[in-house]
Amino acid sequence: MLVGRSEIRAVALKRRKELDDFIVSLMKSQEISNSEILYTFLHSFIRDEQDSVRFADILMQHETGQLRNRVGGELKLSYQFRRGCLNLLVMHARNLVPRRIQGTADPYVKSYLLPDSNKSTKRKTRVARKNLNPTYNQTLTYEMPLNELQQKVLQVTVWDNDAMGVNVYLGGVNIYPSTHDLTVEVTRWHELKELGLGM
Structural domain that includes position 87:
71-191
Residue 35 belongs to a domain:
yes
Q: Model confidence at 180, in pLDDT bands (50, 70, 90)?
A: confident
**Residue where a domain terminates, one of 29, 46, 67:** 67
Same domain, 24 and 101: no
Same domain, 109 and 167: yes
Question: Which of helix, strand or coil describes residue 18?
Answer: helix
- pLDDT > 70? residue 34: no
Cβ-in-10-Å burial (0-12, 13-18, 19+) of 96 comes to buried
* Order of strands, sheet of 85-94, starting from the edge strand that comes earlier in the sequence: 135-143, 85-94, 74-82, 186-191
In CATH, what number is assigned to the domain containing residue 123?
A: 2.60.40.150
User: How many residues belong to the chain?
Assistant: 199
Same domain, 76 and 63: no
CB 109, CB 156: distance < 8 Å: yes
Same domain, 89 and 127: yes
Using the CB atoms, write b or e for 122-147: b if 16+ within 10 Å.
ebbbebbeeebebebeeebebebeee
Per-residue pLDDT of 117-157, as tens digits, reads 889 999 999 999 999 999 999 999 999 999 999 999 999 99
CA 171 to chain centre: 10
Assessment of whether the complete model's pTM goes beyond 0.75: no
For residues 30 and 32, what is the distance between their CA atoms, to the nearest angstrom?
A: 5
- pLDDT > 50? residue 108: yes
Q: What is the mean pLDDT of the chain?
A: 81
- Closest among 114, 115, 112, 134 to 123, alpha carbons compared: 112
Same domain, 29 and 117: no
Q: Is the dihedral of CA 146, 75, 135, 121 positive or negative?
A: negative
- pLDDT > 50? residue 1: no
Decide which of 71 and 128 is more confident.
128
Residue 197 belongs to a domain:
no
For residues 18 and 13, what is the distance between their CA atoms, to the nearest angstrom?
A: 9
Residue 38: per-residue pLDDT: 58
Count the domains in the chain. Answer: 2
Residue 196 belongs to a domain:
no
